[in-house]
């Protein structure tokens, strides 16, 4: 029984390290405890959003993030304006790279697209930026969701990550940028590092693991 329990714990650790570990899923979990910091009243989780070209609905689930709840410009001829939201955390940074994924939708009016951008950053314990990656400018056809992804490799000394979602208006009064199903996941640990973390130590450890499985099956 002890051997079986020990094997179970090793298996759970193996599955957690090899598999992709979800860290955050939004917007259906959007509430005061969701972790997002929003300082712009134009941004909120909604079930639908009306814009000039039609209605926007969730890519999945029952809600999505709209940057167009309130107007941001007083005149359509004003310079472009960018607003955003962010979230930080320290989940699964040890030895893991990170992948940020999600869906974005933007509006095109008169040949001028409102745009989005997703940025993934990693900081050390002194709040110094260690690495960052951007999706680049994000646009979509009207009323169509477009997938995006941003990745960062594992960084030595990482203490926490930060995700920023931006929207910029180029035409009209509203930032017609929308996000849905935003997820941050830990990438699998490379094989050599995985064996070291599990304490299996290469071929000898794998041999002991096979013998243990054989004994349990007997």
- The closest of 88, 130, 110, 217 to 171, measured between CA atoms, is 110
Q: The whole model's pTM is what?
A: 0.76
The three-state secondary structure class of 163 is strand
β-strand pairing of 44-46 with 64-66: antiparallel
Which tens digit of pLDDT belongs to each residue from 85-133? 999 988 767 778 899 999 999 999 878 899 999 999 999 999 999 999 9
Question: Average pLDDT for residues 160-176, to the nearest whole number?
Answer: 95
Domains of the chain plus CATH, in order, are 18-187 (2.60.120.260)
Per residue in 23-67, pLDDT (tens digit) is: 444 444 444 446 788 899 999 989 999 999 999 999 988 889 999
pLDDT at 11 over 80: no
Q: How far is CA 157 from CA 65, 74, 151, 203, 217, in A?
A: 32, 45, 18, 30, 42
């Amino acid at each position: 029984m002890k051997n079986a329990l020990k094997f179970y714990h090793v298996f759970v650790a193996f599955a957690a390290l090899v598999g992709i570990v979800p860290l955050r899923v939004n917007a259906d979990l959007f509430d005061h405890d969701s972790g997002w910091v929003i300082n712009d009243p134009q941004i909120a989780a909604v079930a639908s959003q009306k814009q000039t070209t039609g209605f926007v609905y969730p890519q999945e689930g029952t809600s999505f993030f709209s940057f167009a709840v309130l107007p941001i410009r007083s005149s359509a001829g004003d310079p472009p304006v960018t607003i955003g939201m962010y979230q930080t955390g320290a989940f699964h940074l040890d030895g893991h790279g990170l992948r940020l994924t999600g869906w974005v939708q933007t509006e095109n009016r008169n040949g001028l697209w409102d745009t989005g951008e997703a940025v993934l950053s990693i900081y050390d314990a002194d709040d110094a930026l260690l690495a960052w990656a951007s999706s680049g400018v994000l646009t979509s056809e009207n009323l169509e969701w477009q997938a995006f992804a941003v990745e960062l490799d594992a960084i030595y000394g990482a203490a926490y990550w930060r995700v920023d979602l931006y929207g910029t208006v180029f035409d009209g009064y509203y930032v017609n940028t929308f996000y849905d199903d935003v997820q941050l996941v830990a990438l699998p640990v490379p094989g050599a590092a995985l064996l070291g973390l599990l304490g299996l130590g290469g071929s000898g450890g794998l041999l002991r693991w096979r013998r243990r499985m054989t004994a349990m099956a007997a």
